[in-house]
Structure 1
Amino acid sequence: MSTSQSGDRDRDEEGRARNARPRDGLGRPLPYGTPGVGRQPEGVVRTPAETVTEAQALLDAGRPFHAHEVFEDAWKSGPDSERALWRAMAQVAVGLTHAARGNARGGARLLRRGAEALAAWDGEAPGGLNAVSVAQWARRLAARVDRDATPVDAASCSPRLRGTA
């Protein structure tokens, strides 16, 4: 995708905003010309198992913002029956992102919202995802973030997406 700058916003050929600025490991924009962390490609269609595996690797590396983009791809490209699940996982990853950035209030709110949606999931989740365990993890982290109100280390507190979180 090529982008052009229009004012202070990058836009694609259709005029949609596309921020091409480099980003740090938590997805925060850096000044142009600064080395950043590679972005996740948009619109990648993965199997549920590939989604879980790739997102877990990103979470383990302390890159929950990037894991959120993987879940967002699954949410947007997957079957209607799975969209609520992948959307919930994207919310959990964004909640962890905000908690790691020091936004305790926003992080806890998104972690709880994602946990509620995961708890509502009925049946076995695709790709080996343990939705119940991730929901429990998200609630525990939200309580910790509320209590401590300090940034968390995203890599050391990332959930286990398969098995128990």
Structure 2
Amino acid sequence: MKNLLFDRIIPAKRNKKKADSPIKNYEHRQLGPKDLDLALAMNHGFRRGLVHEEAAGLFLANPKNWLFTCLDSKKVLAFAYGYELDRLDPRGPMLYIHELGVLPSYQHQGLGQEFMEALLERARGAGISKVFLITHKHNQPACHLYEKIGGQAMVGSQDDDRVYVFFLE
């Protein structure tokens, strides 16, 4: 049952190309109601006010909300949060990723790619049919990453926004 996935840990695949990486031991994990302390700690590494205790408690209690992380011990190195959305057809739900971040000191080391691949693997295992997110066209590192791991930019993306879809079926 997909609600039990909160407790499953996916060991990260190490990037062999970056032997000098400061990342020693980490895991990918979807946070659940028992992980409020980890969610609140994100205020110190990413941006102040990102996580509010009461709202985060409600968010983590809803099994259709996702807060997927890359953890080094008790430190969140990367996160993505979003919402599982039901569909009217039988292909399975989709996942909208509202925000994704990697700590600046861990960027450009392959962690973002490994993290996104683990997130897509977790989504596939949960029966998600597609994952989508929105980024800015001028955010070339993000656009390049999403395209490199199979994201398809949707035609007709408006203004400065670009929608990427990952089909998992």
Structure with more of its chain in helix, by fraction: 1
Per the TM superposition, whether the score is higher than 0.5 is no
TM-score (norm 1): 0.30
TM-score (norm 2): 0.29
Structure with more of its chain in strand, by fraction: 2
